[in-house]
Amino acid sequence: MTETLVLTRRAVVEGVRSFESLMPMLFIPLFFFVVNVGQAGKIFPKEGTPFLEGQGYAAFSLPAALLTAASFGTAALFLVEEIEGGYFDKLRATPIPRSSIVLGRLLSESLKNLMVTTVIVGVGVLFGVRIRSGLGGFLLLLAIMAVWATVFSGFMQLVAMKTRSAAATNSASFIFFPLLFLTPNFVPRDQLTRPMEIAASFNPVTYVMEAARSLILEGFEADVLLKCTAVLVAGLTAAVALNVRAINHYD
Amino acid sequence: MNREPHVPPGPDRTMTPAIEARGLVKRYPAKADAIEAVRGIDLRVEPGEVFGFLGPNGAGKSTTVRMLTTLLSITDGTATVAGVDVARDPAGVRARIGVALQEAGLDARQSGRELLTLQGRLFGFGAGPAADRAAELLDLVELVDAADRPLKGYSGGMKRRLDLASALVNRPDVLFLDEPTTGLDPASRLVIWDEVRRINAAGTTVFLTTQYLEEADQLCGRLAVIDDGRIVREGSPTALKADLRERAGLDHDPTLDDVFLDATGRTRERQAGDVQEVQA
């Protein structure tokens, strides 16, 4: 456990030192957020749009921005850089459990995401967003996003270890487009066209987004949170198990 | 500059060998047919030796080192390092060895001191002892002045020395150096040679792969030549030269280059680009 924490600390320091790597995590989600609110704010006014629950469209749109940020993690890119540069082997040649190497990176990703989510929610507040579930809901929102960031980074790390190529790892990150856009990110699921509704229902990101949205717009909705928890637990279990297996069998 | 060849203490075969490999094989699965990079190597390196492992590009040097250092799985055969079975107790092996690979893989965002301190923590040192050990090693490889600078500003020679220092953090019984001077200028190469001698004099067994025959001649008490995944010669540089002189009926003393060419069936024309003779 100590080794994992030592490597987590190193990865966090690395992120701070290469601050430019955090910019896509902040800039791109905020850009989409501002543009979406600017474009659709008049179509969905606070008054007369029941699914906004009395808030502006910014509140509805915020979870999409948070999920975009969580999908721009840099853990896999740093990992593949170390694989290509040879430092990964240096770490593998130490007597620590090799799982610490990947778990340290994943843990650091969740910590970085806590910071990024806080900043984006702060910008949302400037746009009039209020979190209906209060401080507890905000903390739960942070936890949900941090876990999702870990899950997504976990799968990207798998690509990094499998391909050992920065170009391939970078390309694989585009999986976030279908995952993020085949969701009810502009309107609630029941207002999507039938094919989109079916696609969104099969997309696990939908349930994370709906949970985040319910915390912002409504409060604690047990059934919504339960579905999100199931998605996160399954995703996290799979991501961690596959990462540990991948590094233990890395040859 | 000519230096005295390193003369190691005579191997003591009653002791547990520092490295022992029997029938070591590495086979990579391929679509059409498996590729056998190492084809049944037998090796025995005694404690306190500097053992050289020579061979042309692609001969199997690095693959062998990677198997012995637990970075690559062994397809067949057995190996022990510092008395510990590589396949059965890889973490036990890693705790007893130091590894400096060909690429001098370092984290460019850290400083030299941070890198060595982290390495110490990963070998189980507490924060204070890890920092003390880092300071000690920075002094050893003469990088104290650059200790707190990010590694991206280090020269190639400085990176190699730091990599060497990081391989010594745990005071290893066996040190693996995979082409430690490739790409270095002659002055930096001499510095690394001095470090290797100093490390060996302190009791550490050194297993060194190199493409530079002069380097092997200067540093190694014994060496093996690997070609196409098989060991084709093994012995001390002096014995290998004497053997060639006798077998070939030469009227002059052959060089290690001649031994290498004889062992690998290469000509001087084919040697270009494979193994280089470099006078440091």
pTM of the model: 0.88
Gap between the terminal Cα atoms of chain B? 7
Residue B272 is given by DSSP the state T
pLDDT at residue B176 is higher than 90: yes
| Cβ–Cβ contact A2 with B under 8 A | yes
Q: What is the least distance, in Å, from the CA of B92 to any CA of chain A?
A: 7
| Cβ–Cβ contact B95 with A under 8 A | yes
Q: Which residues of B touch A96 (CB under 8 A)?
A: 122
Q: Where would I find the beta strands (DSSP E) of B59-120?
A: 76-81, 84-85, 97-100
Look at residue B114 and tell me if it is in a domain.
yes
Q: Give the range of the structural domain holding residue A65, as residue numbers without chain letter.
A: 2-248
Bridge partner list, B210: B54
pLDDT at B12: 54
pLDDT at B56: 87
**Chain B nearest-CA residue for A94:** B94
In a 3-state reduction of DSSP, which class is residue B198? helix
pLDDT at B252: 87
Q: Which of A2, A3, A89 is nearest residue B71 as measured by Cβ atoms?
A: A89
pLDDT tens for chain A, 251 residues long, are 789 999 999 999 998 888 888 888 889 999 999 999 999 888 998 888 989 888 999 999 999 999 999 988 888 999 999 999 999 999 999 999 999 999 999 999 999 999 999 999 999 999 999 999 999 999 999 999 999 999 999 999 999 999 999 999 988 888 888 888 899 999 999 999 999 999 999 999 999 999 999 999 999 999 999 999 999 999 999 999 999 999 999 98
pLDDT at residue B268 is higher than 70: no
- Candidates A7, A90, A101, A249, partner chain B, best to mutate (most B CBs within 10 A): A90
In a 3-state reduction of DSSP, which class is residue A38? helix
pLDDT at B186: 86
**Chain A nearest-CA residue for B107:** A87
pLDDT at B269: 56
pLDDT, tens only, A132-169: 999 999 999 999 999 999 999 999 999 999 999 999 99
Task: Tell me if A93 and B122 make a contact (CB, 8 A cut-off).
Answer: no
pLDDT at B32: 67
**Chain A nearest-CA residue for B70:** A93
- Candidates B70, B106, B107, partner chain A, best to mutate (most A CBs within 10 A): B107
Q: Which of A88, A89, A251 is nearest residue B73 as measured by Cβ atoms?
A: A251
Task: Tell me if A3 and B122 make a contact (CB, 8 A cut-off).
Answer: yes
CA B157 to centroid of chain Cα atoms: 17
Task: Tell me if A95 and B91 make a contact (CB, 8 A cut-off).
Answer: yes
Structure tokens at A149: 């960031």
Q: What is the least distance, in Å, from the CA of A86 to any CA of chain B?
A: 4
Torsion of CA B67, B70, B73, B78, to 10 degrees: 60
Question: Residue written as tokens 């093994």?
Answer: B234
**Chain B nearest-CA residue for A88:** B105
Look at residue B167 and tell me if it is in a domain.
yes
| Cβ–Cβ contact B204 with A under 8 A | no
Q: What one-letter code names the amino acid at B136?
A: E
B104 versus A135: the higher-pLDDT residue is A135
pLDDT at B192: 86
- Between positions 17 and 76 of B, the ones with CB within 8 A of A are 69-73
Q: What is the least distance, in Å, from the CA of A81 to any CA of chain B?
A: 9
Q: Which residues of A touch B108 (CB under 8 A)?
A: 85
Question: CA A15, B142, B218: angle at the middle one, nearest 5?
Answer: 115
**Chain A nearest-CA residue for B103:** A86
Q: What is the least distance, in Å, from the CA of A225 to any CA of chain B?
A: 39
Asked whether the ipTM of the predicted complex exceeds the cut of 0.95, the reply is no
- How far is the C-alpha of B213 from the C-alpha of A156, rounded, in Å? 43
**Concatenated DSSP letters of A211-245:** HHHHHHHT---HHHHHHHHHHHHHHHHHHHHHHHH
Look at residue B266 and tell me if it is in a domain.
no
pLDDT, tens only, B215-266: 899 999 999 999 999 999 999 999 999 989 888 888 888 888 888 888 888 7
Specify the number of domains making up chain B. 1
Q: What is the least distance, in Å, from the CA of B242 to any CA of chain A?
A: 38
| Cβ–Cβ contact A42 with B under 8 A | no
Task: Tell me if B122 and A92 make a contact (CB, 8 A cut-off).
Answer: no
**Chain A nearest-CA residue for B67:** A251
Look at residue B271 and tell me if it is in a domain.
no
Q: Which of A6, A17, A85 is nearest residue B103 as measured by Cβ atoms?
A: A85
Q: What's the burial of A74, exposed, middle or buried (CB within 10 Å: 0-12/13-18/19+)?
A: buried
Sheet holding B97-100, edge to edge: B97-100, B174-178, B205-210, B50-54, B222-227, B230-235
Task: Tell me if B105 and A85 make a contact (CB, 8 A cut-off).
Answer: yes
Task: Tell me if B106 and A85 make a contact (CB, 8 A cut-off).
Answer: yes
Q: Give the range of the structural domain holding residue B122, as residue numbers without chain letter.
A: 19-235
CATH assignment at residue B35 = 3.40.50.300
Q: What's the burial of B278, exposed, middle or buried (CB within 10 Å: 0-12/13-18/19+)?
A: middle
Q: Which residues of A touch B71 (CB under 8 A)?
A: 89, 92-93
- Between positions 90 and 109 of A, the ones with CB within 8 A of B are 90-97
